[in-house]
Amino acid sequence: MKNKMEYKIKDDQLIISFYGEIDGYNVSYYRNKLNVILAMNDQDVIFDFKHTTFIDSAGVGLVLGRYQQLSKEGRKLFLSRLSNTAYKVFELSGLFEIMEYIKEAQI
């Protein structure tokens, strides 16, 4: 699967879908693309990980950085459709204490 990112606006929320891997190798690509997308939009954001095959600590750092950026702007970041393994990584990192996880039916 090719590493890529797509976005759409639905119900006044910006939904960003990740495909493939999010790791130290490509996290700067995602960060640069996200900076552009987030600057062009002012909605709350959902990161959809349904098609993400792997995420490492650099990917978790990417998510945390976008959370901090959006929080400063008064916006919210929601996480959705993590694999079981990725869910455990986010849970152990404590990110669910500051970010909400939403179920698939809500996006």
The structural domains of the chain, with segments of one domain joined by +, span 4-106
- Domain 4-106 listed as CATH 3.30.750.24: yes
Tell me the pTM: 0.93
Angle between helices 57-72 and 84-93 (to 10 degrees): 60
- Tens of pLDDT along the chain (107 residues)? 799 999 999 999 999 999 999 999 999 999 999 999 999 999 999 999 999 999 999 999 999 999 999 999 999 999 999 999 899 989 999 999 999 999 775 66
Residues 6+ apart with CB under 8 A from 32: none
Beta-strand relationship, 77-80 and 44-55: parallel
How far is residue 84 CA from its own chain's centroid?
16
